[in-house]
Amino acid sequence: MKKMISVSIVDDEKKLCKSIATFLNDSEGFRCASIYGSAEAALQHLPADKPDVVLMDINMPGMDGIECVRRLKTMAPPIQVLMLTVYEDTDRIFKALAAGATGYLLKRLEPEELLQAIRDVHAGGSPMSNSIARKVVASFQAAHLAGEQQNLLSQREQAVLDCLAEGLAYKQIADQLGISINTIRTHLRHIYEKLHVQSRTEAVAKYLRH
């Protein structure tokens, strides 16, 4: 029997949480494991809940979602976190990725897109809304043109980035480059790791200055 993907939600918007939870529980292969209205409550319970994926808001009373991700990844590294927010400014994007988020989604996405993003992150990918991916690509390219970390990515990773910058979907990238969708997910995971894990917050500030 295929394992269900367990998802926890951290967001102070009660109606939205209830709507997402209902949708997940009604979707084959998914279940909502828990809902928390604050980062503090999430940190207290999520390590024990052991969800596969956490949907994390940014703006909440008290501790914000980015700091919650930072602490959660220290407490429970295997948990994958998808930011689900209305914010699409570069500063918050890179701070969230540097904190340990695996993907970054905007709340205006379609329900089926949310399910696919959860599947992707559970399968080892790093899903992002198109406009967010473009900002990541643009920031990397600005640093690259300025001579920063020129040898960071392999030629194949750069090719995947170029396709991503054009707004191509995974299948379109696979067709264009002649590789599998799983290989694309692996390349994207490496790309995002190189952009934020290796050099952390100092590199994020460097990207933002270019």
Percent of the chain residues past pLDDT 70, beyond the cut = 80
Name which residue leads in pLDDT, 2 or 96: 96
CA distance 107 to 84: 6
Q: Are the CB atoms for 171 and 162 separated by under 8 Å?
A: no
Confidence of residue 197 (pLDDT cuts 50, 70, 90): very low
Q: What tens digit of pLDDT does each residue of 7-55 get? A: 999 999 999 999 999 999 999 999 999 999 999 999 999 999 999 999 9
Q: Which CATH code for domain 132-209?
A: 1.10.10.10
Residues 6+ apart with CB under 8 A from 84: 11, 55, 56, 57, 105, 106, 107, 114
pLDDT at 205: 36
CA distance 100 to 116: 20
List the strands of the sheet with 103-106, edge to edge: 30-36, 5-10, 53-56, 80-85, 103-106
| CATH 3.40.50.2300-classified regions of the chain | 5-129
**The pLDDT of residue 150 is above 50:** no
Would you give the DSSP letter of residue 128?
B
pLDDT at 127: 86
pTM attached to this predicted model: 0.67
Q: State which H helix or E strand residue 49 sits in.
A: helix 39-49
C-alpha distance from residue 69 to each of 21, 73, 80, 103, 167 (Å): 20, 6, 10, 12, 27
State the chain's mean pLDDT as an integer. Answer: 82
Read off the tokens for 115. Answer: 């399910």
Q: What tens digit of pLDDT does each residue of 126-147 get? A: 888 777 777 776 666 665 554 4
| CATH 1.10.10.10-classified regions of the chain | 132-209
**The pLDDT of residue 61 is above 60:** yes
CA distance 96 to 102: 9
**The pLDDT of residue 89 is above 60:** yes
Range 5-129: architecture per CATH: 3-Layer(aba) Sandwich (3.40)
Confidence of residue 199 (pLDDT cuts 50, 70, 90): very low
CA distance 81 to 142: 27
pLDDT at 196: 53
Name which residue leads in pLDDT, 150 or 124: 124
CA distance 108 to 188: 23
Q: What tens digit of pLDDT does each residue of 109-124 get? A: 999 999 999 999 998 8
